[in-house]
């Protein structure tokens, strides 16, 4: 049925065509977005950050950013690294085993159902493992940020500048020594490899930790 | 052969062992009193700049220049030694 024109500009057919064109355009946009997301996921993330600053396993990491496995792409691999360090089997093992199982049993509806329930079970256990790995990375509770130099010095001279970040809450709970310009130094004695040492943290007036140090007490 | 790095890290001694790591007490080296005094004065000035977050680039340049002079003094007083200078403010090292 031919539709009536409105004001000489648009007919129902035109409107339908425009509507269809718009739908195609939106579909194309969505497809482009999905493709971009997929490409982004394929792009390897830089893994030069090592562990997060609150990594309780090895005390390394990008000190300038408080650990947040959900927001920092660079820290993604850290979670897996910590998972392996804790004796958690890598994700790929589960999928490899699952693939073999499904191929072997998928010859009847009951078998297919078993495969689906197993898939759900493995998926659930994988996510619970991932959550456990994330939860175990919180080595400190304080909210100060770490300056970039903390990591540089920790890597360059670990003998004097790198110790577990899990110590930081205790060190920061001591009475600070006040210095010029509102700078605070927190010191705490302890032991490292059987030697008596003092641990030291420096905090700027802006709440940034830019000094972590330990030295044997003579 | 000793491999030393002159490094004004806060709370450090000013002299770092490159390969063993950690800081060396200047008293354990055969350094002159003048060199040790100059080293300590330089460390105090660098410490103050750390408290100021190394804001003043000109002061950092002067301190790094003085640190390299101290490194040369130490090199001339010790035998069998290789010396590097590390700028604690700029986190860069340089062979002396």
Nearest CA in chain A to B18: A157
Cβ-based contacts of B53 with chain A (< 8 Å) = 181, 204, 210
- The strands making up B15-17's β-sheet, listed across from edge to edge, are B15-17, B2-7, B81-87, B92-95
Rounded Cα–Cα distance for residues A147 and B50 (Å): 13
Is A160 in contact with B48 (Cβ distance < 8 A)? no
A200 membership: H or E segment, kind and range: strand A195-203
Q: What is the ipTM of this complex?
A: 0.93
| pLDDT at residue A149 in the model | 96
Cβ within 8 Å of residue A58, ≥6 positions away: A50, A51, A85
Is A159 in contact with B9 (Cβ distance < 8 A)? no
Nearest CA in chain A to B53: A204
Nearest CA in chain B to A209: B53
Nearest one of B38, B48, B39 to B10, comparing CA atoms: B48
| pLDDT at residue B16 in the model | 96
- Tens digit of pLDDT at every position of chain A (218 positions): 444 444 344 444 554 555 555 555 555 666 666 655 555 555 444 444 445 555 544 444 444 444 333 333 333 322 222 333 333 333 433 343 334 444 444 556 676 777 777 777 766 666 665 565 555 567 899 999 999 999 999 999 999 999 999 999 999 999 999 999 999 999 999 988 888 999 999 999 999 999 999 988 87
- Specify the number of domains making up chain B: 1
Where are chain A's structural domains?
87-135, 145-216
Mean pLDDT of chain B: 96
| pLDDT at residue A25 in the model | 57
Residue B30 belongs to domain spanning: 2-95
What pTM was estimated for this model as a whole?
0.59
Is A180 in contact with B51 (Cβ distance < 8 A)? yes
């Amino acid at each position: 049925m031919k539709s009536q024109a409105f004001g000489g500009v648009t007919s129902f057919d035109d409107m339908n065509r425009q509507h269809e064109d718009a739908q195609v355009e939106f579909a194309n946009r969505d497809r482009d977005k999905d493709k971009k997301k997929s490409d982004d996921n394929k792009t390897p993330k830089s893994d030069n950050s090592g562990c997060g600053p609150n990594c309780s396993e090895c005390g390394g990491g990008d000190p300038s950013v408080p650990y947040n496995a959900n927001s920092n792409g660079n820290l993604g691999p850290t979670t897996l690294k910590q998972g392996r360090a804790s004796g958690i089997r890598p994700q790929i093992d589960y999928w490899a085993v699952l693939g073999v199982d499904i191929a072997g049993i998928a010859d009847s509806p009951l078998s297919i159902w078993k495969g689906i329930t197993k898939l759900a079970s493995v998926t659930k256990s994988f996510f619970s493992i991932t959550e456990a790995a994330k939860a175990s990375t919180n080595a400190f509770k304080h909210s100060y940020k770490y300056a970039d130099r903390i990591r540089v010095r920790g890597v360059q001279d670990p003998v004097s500048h790198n110790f577990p970040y899990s110590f930081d809450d205790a060190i920061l709970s001591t009475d600070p020594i006040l210095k010029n310009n509102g700078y605070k130094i927190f010191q705490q004695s302890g032991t490292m490899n059987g030697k008596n040492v003092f641990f030291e943290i420096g905090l700027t007036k802006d709440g940034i930790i830019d000094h972590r140090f330990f030295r044997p007490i003579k | 052969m000793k491999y030393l790095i002159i490094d004004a890290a806060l709370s450090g001694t000013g002299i770092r062992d490159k390969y063993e790591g950690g800081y060396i007490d200047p008293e354990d080296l055969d350094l002159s009193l003048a060199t040790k005094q100059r080293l300590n004065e330089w460390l105090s000035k660098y410490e103050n700049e750390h408290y100021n977050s190394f804001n003043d680039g000109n002061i950092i340049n002067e301190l790094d220049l003085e640190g390299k002079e101290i490194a040369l003094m130490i090199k001339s007083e010790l035998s069998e030694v290789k010396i590097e200078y590390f700028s604690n403010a700029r986190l860069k090292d340089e062979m002396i």
